[in-house]
Amino acid sequence: MNKSIFSINSLSKYSELFQIVGVIGLIASLIFVGLELRQSHKIALSDQQQARMQAFVTIYNNATSNNIAFAYDQNHYSDYEIFYHNMLHSFWNISEADFLRYRLGLMDENIWRSKFSIIKRQRSSDARNCELRRRVWQIKRTQIDSEFVKLVEEIPFEECKKL
């Protein structure tokens, strides 16, 4: 008689163990697929935000090329102020996209801190552009993510100083 370790009788003794191992493997693979889907979803959200941001930046660049201050009566602005006005609109859209990537875990903490320090500088006083920065922020705050607005508004905006 052949007493192989892999005989039907010996394998049947382990059938419950094999079923448990199979179920654990199935559960582990489902968890892995779920995590991959979650990551893909985050990347898709980031890509959508990136595309929207790029579309707006293109609009602001076109407005600047045509000597138009986006969403404001350009008759009140010099060429420099039109450029700066549109640049600020671009800045806030880019910063919002960066905030979303950070919030989704797609941006390194150190990179976000660096970008956030630039955001803080936008809230500091600069007499030449202070009113312009304040005016653009009042427009942008109604158009961007409320969590990002809350974060930015926690940074004190220094009062504009007269030259």
What's the pLDDT band for 97 if we cut at 50, 70, 90? very high
Angstrom distance (rounded) from CA 155 to CA 91: 16
Q: How much is the pTM?
A: 0.75
Residue 1 predicted with pLDDT over 60: no
Q: What is the mean pLDDT of residues 28-43?
A: 91
Distances (CA, A) of 17 to 11, 61, 162: 10, 65, 80
Residues of the chain with pLDDT > 70, as a percent, come to 86
Distances (CA, A) of 51 to 5, 34, 44, 54, 56: 61, 26, 11, 5, 9
Residues of the chain with pLDDT > 90, as a percent, come to 40
What's the pLDDT band for 70 if we cut at 50, 70, 90? confident
Angstrom distance (rounded) from CA 112 to CA 99: 8
Angle at 107 between CA 102 and CA 112, to 5 degrees: 70
Lowest average pLDDT, out of 19-23, 77-81, 139-143, goes to: 77-81
For the segment 99-152, what is each residue's pLDDT rounded down to a tens digit? 999 999 989 999 999 999 999 888 776 667 888 888 889 999 999 999 999 999
**Placement of tokens 């922020």 in the chain:** 137
What's the pLDDT band for 7 if we cut at 50, 70, 90? low
Write down the pLDDT at residue 152. 93
